[in-house]
Amino acid sequence: MVHLILVGLLLPGPLWAQGLSALPDGKAPNDSRLEAPVTLHDYHPFRPVASKEEWKGRQEEIVRRIAISCGLWPQPTKTPLNAVIHKKIDQGDYTVEAVLFESMPGHYVTGSLYRPAGESLKIGVKNGNRPGVLCAHGHWHDARYAYESDDHAKREIAIGAERFLNGGKSVHQARCVQLARMGCVVFFYDMLGNADSMQFPEHRRGPRPETNGEKMGEWGFVSKNASARLQTNFGLQTWNSIRSLDFILSLAGVDANRILVTGASGGATQTMMVSALDERVTASFPCVMVSTAMQGGCTCENGHYLRIGQGNIDIAAAVAPRPLGLTAADDWTIDLKEKGHPDLEKLYQMIGARGNYEAHFDIHFKHNYNHVSRTHLYQFVNRHFGLGLKSPVLERDFNLLEKKELSVFNDKHPAPSGDQTGVPHEKALNRWWAEDSDKQINALLNPKTEEEFAKTKDAIGGALDVMIGRKLPAKGEANYELVSKEARDGFMELCGLVQNTKHGEEIPASFLYPLGNWQGHVVIWLSPDGKSGIFKKGAEPKDDVRKLLESGIAVMGLDLYGQGDFLNAESLAKSKGANPGLIYSKNQNVKLSADSWQRSPVYYYGYNHSTFARRVHDVLTAVAFARHSENYDVKKISLSAPKGAGHWAAAARAVVGGEVIQKAWIDTSGFSFANLKNHWDANFLPGAVKYGDIAGLLTLNAPFDTALIDKEVLTESLKKLAAKTGGKISRGKDLAAYFLR
């Protein structure tokens, strides 16, 4: 519905001299994006679906978002593991061995391998093979070496959390030993910066000047270039988990149809991620992590885009219909029974896998992976892997191993040193990761057949869908509130607010409508100056705009997010229209050191869209309004993006395609995401460099009618691609003439 509100009294002076305004002076749009940003501590409910078929599509979205967040879309090249297994310790009914292998060239994953022996060899065998289990440890002090005091263990026994002294002293060893005694092959691997994983001296990484270089091989994690390529310690840790799956499945006698991943706290985060990403995981048991509350505080649990439109309940659910088990405690999971658990029960029932989901609410215990929780795990494994053990399966006491016995490195297998550790190693790893990714993406930028272009759309287009995070609004979701109008020389100026009702967004807009010879063609005009970019000084339309109006074509100018009237909002005014994440970061981190890991941009971009994405959202909302307008018979929609706006148009067009936006004038003017100075720039888009930068966006525009102004981007390969896919890529010379063709 169009509401007419005349506000001439709010606009002093002649309207023709100043142009119309969508809002009174000093008033910002009523826009949800001007509210406080989403954080890991907010409420993150499950996004329900209505059917089994709908769940399949939702599940694919969740998995793709995780993969992109981890920098694993597409996956890096799987290089040889070069695994070493040594230092066997025989404990009678199980053995413990030291393991190291390379997840990426020169980067080692370390851990302990527990295997059945003696009487345990009789359990769990099917067709000569036995179950495999990956154990991720989470944020325990000393991790795989974790060794609590006798007094601590006695207190745990006293409250019913443990049965034996040694189990109370090392919950990790207790779990691995019992699973091996149940006939499973168990690999307990180190997270970054823990136990033997000391190529990264610290588990968490913060911004550091020495790792913020521009050239390949000069940057580390938590830098602008790492964010531009989606390289994080979270992604590396997840890749280590995937390669740990490769390792355990490479062992003789491990049953590929019975693979479990389990862990608590940060180990549960890794359990969720690898279980969602890799279908070789046949059962998943993340403990004391999955909830609608706190989503994981460490950088190893957060990545760009990871929890926009989804939370840990959604991520845990991505394993469905495979078996999933959860535990809750007196921590952020305390409300799981009421919030999240009912959704997962309904989901598993809806898809016909009700018996594959369970949750346990021992909320009288603090954050843990104690014997009570472990006992739930053992029954889960016994049932789903068909071990045939009498229930309940309970732990027995065991011989506790000390650090020197568990250590992977010795004289024969020395620990990495020198440039294999610290900042040099971090830079070398990111260099290999970037070069490997560039090799894969560059091949997608020059597809030679329609089949190859389909792969390009899947990889780069699939990534862009997540990075922009919005499709074209449906009919009824985009409306227009008319604030004022004025007849001018041959056209009508209407000023108001384009509204996205679904997301609570308002976009100030000036709509110039020709009074005669209306052609049903709307050109949405993007400009760094916002809606005023369609005018000269004052309210006289620019020459090209005037030509379009005289030819019966309407023109719409927009204040995209962070432009024009949006700058009346205090947060955007402070950042001068830059990403509000800059203000958020300053406010949140005021008491932190400059190199604190809590200054990582993943804490903003992991939960909130970038300013770049929000501006593309506004373009899509305006397109949807024009397309579905009941007051104007719109037959054709085009984008005009002169200097300084071409990258927004290229992204919007790539998202919705040429059937919706028939023509686009794109002036990139040498813009490159790689040239931005920091990750708080208003044009920064995490991952944009990874996916081909501006060339990636233009490749997705190739099948459509496009005029490019920057000769540097009008490559022969792009012309050939356009010819193959039915596009009309041309060199733009006369803007008005292009739209009049």
User: SS3 of 626, please?
Assistant: helix
Beta partners for residue 84, in sequence order: 100
Asked if the model's pLDDT at residue 572 lies above 90, the reply is no
Q: At what angle do helices 716-725 and 693-701 cross, to 10 degrees?
A: 30
**Concatenated DSSP letters for 73-136?**
SSPPP------EEEEEEE-SSEEEEEEEEEEETTEEEEEEEEEE-GGGGGSS-BTTBEEEEEEE
Mean pLDDT in residue range 232-258? 98
What type of residue sits at position 173?
Answer: Q
Asked if the model's pLDDT at residue 18 lies above 80, the reply is no
> Is pLDDT larger for residue 208 or for residue 14?
208
pLDDT digit string, tens, across residues 177-210:
999 999 999 999 999 999 999 999 889 888 999 9
For position 255, what pLDDT does the model report? Answer: 98
Asked if the model's pLDDT at residue 6 lies above 70, the reply is no
Residue 428 — pLDDT band, cuts 50, 70, 90? Answer: very high
Cβ neighbours of 60 (radius 10 Å) = 12
For position 334, what pLDDT does the model report? Answer: 98
Burial 632-651 (b: 16+ CB within 10 A, else e): eebeebbbbbbebbbbbbbb
DSSP assigned state of 358: E
CB 101 within 8 Å of CB 84? yes
What type of residue sits at position 42?
Answer: D
- Token pair recorded at residue 623: 């397109």
Indicate the helix (H) or strand (E) that contains 614: helix 611-628
Residue 42 — pLDDT band, cuts 50, 70, 90? Answer: very high
For position 631, what pLDDT does the model report? Answer: 79
Name the one residue in this structure whose structure tokens are 């981190």. 589
pLDDT digit string, tens, across residues 47-76:
999 999 999 999 999 999 999 999 999 999
Mean pLDDT in residue range 579-601? 76
Asked if the model's pLDDT at residue 15 lies above 80, the reply is no
**Yes or no: domain 82-204+234-410 corresponds to CATH 3.40.50.1820:** yes
Beta partners for residue 186, in sequence order: 114, 133
For position 110, what pLDDT does the model report? Answer: 98
**Concatenated DSSP letters for 471-538?**
-PPPTTTEEEEEEEEEE-SSEEEEEEEEEETTTTEEEEEEEEEESSS--SEEEEE--TTGGGGGBSST
pLDDT digit string, tens, across residues 460-487:
999 999 999 999 999 999 999 999 999 9
Q: What are phi and psi of 258, to 5 degrees?
A: -135, 80
Name the one residue in this structure whose structure tokens are 């970038």. 610
Beta partners for residue 449, in sequence order: none
For position 577, what pLDDT does the model report? Answer: 61
Asked if the model's pLDDT at residue 584 lies above 90, the reply is no
Q: Which pairs count as long-range contacts for 443-449, CB under 8 Å and 24+ apart, including other chains?
A: 444/692, 444/699, 445/692, 445/695, 445/696, 445/699, 445/717, 446/717, 446/721, 447/721, 447/724, 449/724
Mean pLDDT in residue range 588-615? 89
Mean pLDDT in residue range 256-266? 97
Residue 576 — pLDDT band, cuts 50, 70, 90? Answer: low
- What average pLDDT is seen over the chain? 93
Asked if the model's pLDDT at residue 362 lies above 60, the reply is yes
Q: How far apart are CA 525 and CA 739, in angstroms?
A: 12
- Token pair recorded at residue 380: 């889960």
Q: Which residues are within 8 A (CB) of 404 and not within 5 positions of it... i.e. 6 or more apart?
A: none
Q: How far apart are CA 178 and CA 278, in angstroms?
A: 25
Residue 730 — pLDDT band, cuts 50, 70, 90? Answer: very high
For position 44, what pLDDT does the model report? Answer: 98
Cβ neighbours of 399 (radius 10 Å) = 13
Where in the chain are the domains?
82-204+234-410, 507-740
For position 359, what pLDDT does the model report? Answer: 98
Asked if the model's pLDDT at residue 415 lies above 80, the reply is yes
Indicate the helix (H) or strand (E) that contains 641: strand 636-641
For position 741, what pLDDT does the model report? Answer: 87
> What architecture does CATH give domain 507-740?
3-Layer(aba) Sandwich (3.40)
CB 312 within 8 Å of CB 288? no
For position 589, what pLDDT does the model report? Answer: 67
Percent of the chain predicted with pLDDT > 90: 86
Asked if the model's pLDDT at residue 393 lies above 80, the reply is yes
pLDDT digit string, tens, across residues 499-549:
999 999 999 999 999 998 899 999 999 999 999 999 998 789 999 999 999
Mean pLDDT in residue range 252-278? 98
